[in-house]
Structure 1
Amino acid sequence: MIPRILRYTLGFSLWLSAAQAQVKPVTPPVTDTSVHRTDTTAHKADTIKPKAAAVVLPDSVYTVPGGLRIGLDLARFVVKAFQPYRTDVTVVGDYRIKKDLYLAAEAGWQSTSHSDTNYTYKGRGVFVTAGVDYNLLKKLLPQERYMIFAGIRYGFAQMSYEAPSYTISNSYWGDKLPGSVPKTNTSAHWVELIMGIKAEVLKNLFLGWNIREKILVSGPKDDIFPPIAIPGFGSGTKKSQFDWQYTISYCIPLNDIKVHVPRTPPKK
């Protein structure tokens, strides 16, 4: 009995070993990670495009004519016709420092003489103003020199005046009190705001006119007998003065001014 059981057990063990020998183990597939990474990197390189470098264009440069412009204020001779006691001479000038910016100055002399039955008056002095003018006109051609401008000036005058004789009449008593005011030296300071135009009528020859408001900053302190006129300013009894000019001037070409215009590529 026992030998039979051993024989059956031995036979079953041999059959199980043969069955296991026929079944081959399954080998998992090998993944080529290096190839996969290379393909991914290549795909990203194709997707992301390099940024184009900004294109910088050279500036555009052109020149505009400059120079020193000197002239005369003709309006002072017209004032003489309406105020015969005044004699004024005013020289005007400007110098171009940029495309639309000019240094401007004026200088002049004034003499005042008046006489009537009440008093005699004499005065004289000189003045100077300095400031800037800005051209508001956008020109089409670089060589054009027409101007519509706004400007500002600071003015200073040094003067003397006197009343050699005067008479104060008393209408009630009929008396007349004579007197005199000695020579007085004084000065004045003011600011001017200007608007005007200048046009080139012939080569380098300009005609222009402007209007201006003058605001007195400080002036003569004598309130009893103030000056009749302040050189370059006007009436000696006013704190504000409206004035005008009509000028003829000639431009002396001295140099050309370079104008740089930055150029950038158009936006897409």
Structure 2
Amino acid sequence: MIQRILLYILVFSSSCIAARAQVKKPALTPIDSSVRAADTTARKNVAEKKKPVPALPDSIYEVPGGIRIGIDISRFILKVFQPYRTDVSFAGDMRIKKDLYLAAELGFHSTSHSDSNYTYKGNGIFTTVGVDWNFLQKISNKERYMIYGGIRYGFAHLNYEAPSYTIYDSYWGDKLPGSFPKTSVNAHWVELILGLKAEVLKNFFLGWSIREKIKVSGPSKDLAFPPIVIPGFGSGTKGSQFDWQYTVSYCIPLGNIKVHVPRKAEPPKRR
């Protein structure tokens, strides 16, 4: 009995070994040489990307600089429509960077008006200071045409008086005469500007701009007689004022301004 059991165990073990021998391992597929070359190239590209790329030196060129000084001729045109007022305004700017300019204005104002209702006299000065940014892309570095936007801070000092005025009572028909003494007032405002300038002759420019002026502070609203005109701003009773300007100017050359253009490092060329 024991011998038969040992025989069965021996036969079963032999059959298991034979079955395992019949299971063959899968054959390895040969690697194509083109795939192997592509893998090698990819590894080289990754290695090259990891290497630091030296930066190239900046490009440097020059643009013409100078101080541009001009006069606003639109103030003379304004006198045709408002003959009681006289305004003289000078404008100037100086290039400090490729597209950035420092800008300023200085002017004088005088008003003299008289009619059956009142007489008025006033005079003062004003100044504005700010910057202009040129949006125009130039074909040549020597061009000085401008399409620009700007912002200004404005300040004015004014002396005015109304030696006589008459208030009419429409109900009773009475006349109430009076006078307003000489008074000094200051005004502050901000200007937003959009304009252009063109070089019509060498160093001679014509310029045109539109402006929105927003008053920050000015004569008190409690004044019995507010100023008719604030120098450089406009109406003495309004909080904002739309204006325009037309200038003729000359540029005094003061050398050139260097412009640095940083260059980006070029990527490595593929082999």
TM-score range, shorter chain: 0.7 to 0.9
The residue aligned with 2:14 is none
SS of equivalent to 2:242: strand
1:113: how far off?
0.7
SS of equivalent to 2:254: coil
Structure 2 residue 239 is the aligned partner of structure 1 residue 253: no
What is the percent sequence identity of the aligned residues?
Answer: 70
The residue aligned with 2:237 is 237
The residue aligned with 1:109 is 108
1:255: how far off?
2.1
Over residues 175-232 of structure 1, what are the superposed CA-to-partner deviations in whole Å (9 max), with x where a residue is unaligned? 3221110001110000000000000000000001000100000000144311000000
The residue aligned with 1:28 is none
SS of equivalent to 1:99: coil
1:53: how far off?
4.8
Structure 2 gap ranges (5+): 1-42
Q: How does 1:29-108 map to 2 (within 5 A)?
A: 51=48, 53-108=52-107
Over residues 100-149 of structure 1, what are the superposed CA-to-partner deviations in whole Å (9 max), with x where a residue is unaligned? 00000001000011000010000000000000000011111100000000
The residue aligned with 2:137 is 138
* Alpha-carbon separation, structure 1, partners of 2:77 and 2:229: 16
Structure 2 residue 188 is the aligned partner of structure 1 residue 189: yes
1:262: how far off?
1.4
* Alpha-carbon separation, structure 1, partners of 2:83 and 2:89: 17
* Alpha-carbon separation, structure 2, partners of 1:179 and 1:263: 73
SS of equivalent to 2:238: coil
1:263: how far off?
1.8
1:60: how far off?
1.1
- Paired AA for residue 137 in structure 2: K
Equivalent pairs, count: 223
1:57: how far off?
1.8
SS of equivalent to 1:255: strand
SS of equivalent to 2:142: coil
Over residues 16-60 of structure 1, what are the superposed CA-to-partner deviations in whole Å (9 max), with x where a residue is unaligned? xxxxxxxxxxxxxxxxxxxxxxxxxxxxxxx87974551322211
Structure 1 gap ranges (5+): 1-46
RMSD between aligned residues: 1.8
TM-score (norm 2): 0.78
Comparing 239-248 with 159-168, which one deviates more in the overlay?
A: 159-168
TM-score (norm 1): 0.79
The residue aligned with 2:163 is 164
The residue aligned with 1:20 is none
1:89: how far off?
0.3
1:156: how far off?
0.4
SS of equivalent to 2:63: strand
Q: How does 1:119-130 map to 2 (within 5 A)?
A: 119-130=118-129
Over residues 68-122 of structure 1, what are the superposed CA-to-partner deviations in whole Å (9 max), with x where a residue is unaligned? 0000001101111111111000000000000000000001000011000010000
SS of equivalent to 1:137: coil
The residue aligned with 2:224 is 224
